[in-house]
Amino acid sequence: MLDENKTFEPLIVAFCCNWCSYAGADLAGTSRLSYPPNVKIIKVPCSCRVDPIFVLRAFGKGADGVIVCGCHPGDCHYSTGNYFTRRRFTLMFNLMDYLGIERDRMRLEWVSAAEATKFARVMNEFTETITNLGPNRQIVDLRNLPEGYEDLEREPHREILPPATDKSRDIPSVAKIEEQMKLRATKLLADGVVDRVLAWKKGDHETMPEPAFFDHPGQIEDLVYNKYCAPNLSKYLMNAPWLGGKLFDGSTLVFLKPCDSYSFNQLIKENLVNTDKVHIIGIGCGGTVQVEELEDAGMWEKCQVCTKVSHPVGDEIIDLSDDSPRLEKDARFELVEAIEALEAPDRFAYWQSQLSKCIRCNACRNTCPVCNCKRCVFSSDKMDMASKVNANEFEEQLFHIVRAYHVAGRCSDCGECSRVCPQDIPVHLLNRKFIKDINEFYGEYQAGENIEAPEPLTSYDLNNDGQIDINKGVRT
């Protein structure tokens, strides 16, 4: 092993901000301070220009270490750029750690234009660290099934995570809610207050209700509301033409469960729904259940740990479920903690076993309320990635990581991504890791709760953020 390391010459990519670190590297040259030639510098105008995608790409293409260098906080040439860099990479590095990828392979350092000595020292240290770590194989391997973990493929949840306990709380009032929904829908349609109703209708089987539009009172008898009505309706209301919003002339009545209303409120925040054209009725929910072979198979994990009982947005409320049991404590992060508690190789194997099942059907992306881009980066030629078709394996490795990063700070934890996954990949546990870290590092934040609140990744708090060790991912 040691002998192998001696001949191993790592490839290290350094993203350096033009104003500080790149100039610091120049000064290291001018001062003839040496550091290993393994380090190759890419100039960026500001550390905030470094997209975590670039870092992933470098790893995916064979880099053994990636370092991002920027101005010291407070010294950004653009005043605030590095404050965003700091939050982005703190969270991103933590996610990589959560995926079981050695976090020592990535680093963020503040190097001023004057700190030539520091630049050379950091590069010497980093090269030594990477040399000792050996070649990077992990990210490239993330989507391949790990050896010795074949049995994980079938029942990965059961093996690694605590067994799901059915905390199903089938509330008797759901039938009454459905009754009132029908009454209100019929009346609002008949009175011409709304032009259509968005709700669920009977599917092929009673366990398969599906989202549907109702255009006149006569159709309302098909409206159903029961414990199988899991699909989040909020995204159907986007007035975005690229998602069919152009069809929405007139006004729409929509029924939103508590979790759906958080998603909807987030869409209001992102200016993607026209609230003038929507009449919202918040409805009570007692949790939804998953179905296997037309039989109840226990409550969805997302519902078991759901603490959302109120509606942050709504014109009316129909909630008769006050008698239903509510979770007293937020147990959302138990699974995240269970994964965090694993040793790094096991974490890696776990995620490898999960992500290797992905068939890139895009169901998670299509159902996610905040995956609302007109053109996804995975459909955009701008990022050299192709849509749907798997242009190359590398793209595959990035998809879930990039998607989790793109919804970080915006995800309301509705859990739809995992619910719709035909391969049972617990995608939402990536999003929830971000939520957990955001809460811990930057204060409790619930996307969709308050549309005025600044989002964690587009804001900063100087007193707080400096206390977090970016490279270790802990509060100092």
Which of positions 432-461 make contact with other proteins (CB under 8 A)?
Answer: 454-455, 457-459
Segment interacting with other proteins, rule: CB under 8 A, options 75-83, 331-339, 344-352, 429-437? 75-83
Measured over the CA atoms of residue 233, residue 234, residue 240 and residue 246, the dihedral's sign is positive
- Using CB under 8 A, which of 21, 65, 88, 278 touches other proteins? 88
Query: From CA 261, how far away is CA 282, in angstroms rounded?
Result: 7
The edge-to-edge listing of strands for the beta sheet with 106-110 is 39-44, 12-17, 65-70, 106-110
| Percent of the chain as helix, strand, coil, to the nearest 5 | 40, 15, 45
Query: From CA 224, how far away is CA 1, in angstroms rounded?
Result: 63
Does 165 bind other proteins (CB under 8 A)? Our answer is no
For the chain, give the number of residues.
476
Q: Which residues contact 21 (CB under 8 A, 6 or more apart)?
A: 14, 47, 69, 70, 71, 109, 111, 112, 113, 119
Q: For other proteins, what does the binding mask look like between residues 54 and 73, x meaning CB under 8 A?
A: x--xx--xxx-------x--
Identity of the residue, 197 or 272, whose beta carbon is nearer to other proteins in the bound complex: 272
Query: From CA 403, how far away is CA 365, in angstroms rounded?
Result: 8
Start-to-end CA distance of the chain, whole Å, equals: 34
Query: From CA 375, how far away is CA 386, in angstroms rounded?
Result: 11
- Using CB under 8 A, which of 21, 35, 100, 139 touches other proteins? 35
The residues in 115-154 that bind other proteins, with binding defined as CB under 8 A, are 120
Identity of the residue, 44 or 358, whose beta carbon is nearer to other proteins in the bound complex: 44
Q: Kindly state the smallest distance separating residue 277's Cβ from other proteins, in Å.
A: 14
Q: Kindly state the smallest distance separating residue 319's Cβ from other proteins, in Å.
A: 30
Q: Kindly state the smallest distance separating residue 455's Cβ from other proteins, in Å.
A: 7
Phi, psi of 229 (to 5 degrees): -80, 65
Q: One-letter amino acid identity for 186? A: T
Question: E-strand spans in 129-246?
Answer: 196-201, 210-214, 223-224
Using CB under 8 A, count the residues that bind other proteins: 74
What does 423-448 look like in DSSP terms, one character per residue?
A: T---THHHHHHHHHHHHHHH----TT
- Using CB under 8 A, which of 4, 8, 10, 51 touches other proteins? 51
The residues in 401-430 that bind other proteins, with binding defined as CB under 8 A, are 406-407
- Using CB under 8 A, which of 150, 384, 393, 444 touches other proteins? 384
- Using CB under 8 A, which of 193, 242, 469, 474 touches other proteins? 242
- Using CB under 8 A, which of 145, 342, 383, 386 touches other proteins? 383
Q: One-letter amino acid identity for 421? A: C
- Using CB under 8 A, which of 68, 181, 339, 377 touches other proteins? 377
Segment interacting with other proteins, rule: CB under 8 A, options 74-82, 156-164, 324-332, 431-439? 74-82
- Using CB under 8 A, which of 42, 317, 327, 363 touches other proteins? 42
Count of Cβ atoms closer than 10 Å to residue 60 Cβ: 20
Looking at residue 452, what DSSP letter applies? T
Q: Kindly state the smallest distance separating residue 154's Cβ from other proteins, in Å.
A: 34
The distance between the two most distant Cα atoms of the chain, rounded to a whole number of Å, is: 83
Q: Which residues contact 401 (CB under 8 A, 6 or more apart)?
A: 56, 95, 96, 99, 430
Segment interacting with other proteins, rule: CB under 8 A, options 25-33, 228-236, 322-330, 433-441? 25-33
State the residue for tokens 């549907």. 212
Q: Kindly state the smallest distance separating residue 432's Cβ from other proteins, in Å.
A: 19
Residue closest to 69 by CA, chosen among 124, 13, 125: 13
Segment interacting with other proteins, rule: CB under 8 A, options 29-37, 125-133, 148-156, 334-342? 29-37
Q: Kindly state the smallest distance separating residue 392's Cβ from other proteins, in Å.
A: 12
Does 310 bind other proteins (CB under 8 A)? Our answer is no
- Using CB under 8 A, which of 23, 174, 212, 355 touches other proteins? 23
Judge contact between 118 and 24, C-beta under 8 A: yes
Q: For other proteins, what does the binding mask look like between residues 344 and 373, x meaning CB under 8 A?
A: ----------------------------xx
Count of Cβ atoms closer than 10 Å to residue 88 Cβ: 22
- Using CB under 8 A, which of 8, 73, 80, 316 touches other proteins? 80
Does 34 bind other proteins (CB under 8 A)? Our answer is yes
Q: Kindly state the smallest distance separating residue 237's Cβ from other proteins, in Å.
A: 14
- Using CB under 8 A, which of 10, 13, 262, 473 touches other proteins? 13
The residues in 258-287 that bind other proteins, with binding defined as CB under 8 A, are 269-272
Q: Kindly state the smallest distance separating residue 248's Cβ from other proteins, in Å.
A: 12
Residue closest to 286 by CA, chosen among 398, 174, 419: 174
